[in-house]
Structures are given as C-alpha cells and as structure tokens.
Amino acid sequence: MTSKPDQQAIALLRENRLRATGGRVAVLATLLEAGRPLTRQQIADRLGGQAPDKATIYRALRRLVDSDLVHRAFVQQRQWYFEPAHRCGATQCHPHFTCVQCRRTDCLHDVAAALVTLPDGMTLLRQQIRIEGICASCCDN
C-alpha cells in the first residue's frame, strides 16, 4: 500500500516531469508529511530504518531544489531547512516565524506580505521572509 504523502509526492514529481525514484519520493513525502521545514538530518531521522543513504538523500534534495519542487526555506545554526514549494507563489514563499526561546519555526501559510520594491536594475526572483519573535506557548510561561 502506498501512503497518502507518497502518492502526493509521486503526483508532484510527475507534474514536474521528474522520475519518481525511491529517494525523491521518500524525501518529498517526508517533507509533505512534516508540514514544517526540515534539515537533511531530520529527514533521515524521520525516515528511520527505511532511510536511503545520506548521498541519496542529498542528491534527491538537490534535484528537488533545482526543479523548484522544494525550497531552501532558511538557515539556522548553519543548517538549511527544506520544505515543499507547492504552497508558495511564483515569486514569494509564505513567511516563517521562529521563536527565539524554544527555536520552533512555524509556516505562516495565511499571512500575506507585500513584495518589496527594488532599486532600478535589480530583478526580484523570489521573496522569502523570516520573522523572529516569541511564540504563543512561550509567551504564556
């Protein structure tokens, strides 16, 4: 039986004319299921015993990023966090909110930000917004 995130991953790969290799399906399905950005290590940890080797995860991620199916969301403690791009617009990703106390990061899918106006001569390809603050559960403590 193929799981729902697997099926969604296979469909996204096909829409983007990428072969649904085991590594790509595993990485993309893990990111879809997580619902929040993950590092390479976190992807491997979530896959557990059935994880492809590190080189396969690395190659799959690079291909998915090159194809714009996965975005590098942000860097934290020198580690990239990756997430599926299917809920991002053509020129803008949804903002990310990181709590400076518990370090948890949330995707703000329903928060819209205006695109910046760039000086002449600069072309905007993609706007990514990262917000730092204190989350609701840390505020309560």
Give the nearest distance from C-beta 134 to Zn ion in angstroms.
6
Asked if residue 73 lies in contact with residue 2, where contact means CB atoms within 8 angstroms, the answer is no
Asked if residue 64 lies in contact with residue 98, where contact means CB atoms within 8 angstroms, the answer is no
Give the nearest distance from C-beta 133 to Zn ion in angstroms.
9
| Minimum CB distance to Zn ion smaller for 57 or for 107 | 107
Q: Which residues make up the interface to Zn ion (CB under 5 A)?
A: 83, 99, 101-102, 107, 135, 138
Tokens of 116: 């910046």
Parallel/antiparallel/unpaired status of strands 96-99 and 130-133: parallel
| Minimum CB distance to Zn ion smaller for 7 or for 101 | 101
Residues ≥6 apart with Cβ < 8 Å to 107: 35, 36, 37, 83, 87, 94, 96
| Minimum CB distance to Zn ion smaller for 12 or for 52 | 12
Asked if residue 31 lies in contact with residue 39, where contact means CB atoms within 8 angstroms, the answer is no
Q: How far, in Å, CA of 61 to CA of 48, rounded?
A: 17
| Minimum CB distance to Zn ion smaller for 41 or for 101 | 101
Give the nearest distance from C-beta 124 to Zn ion in angstroms.
19
Give the nearest distance from C-beta 118 to Zn ion in angstroms.
23
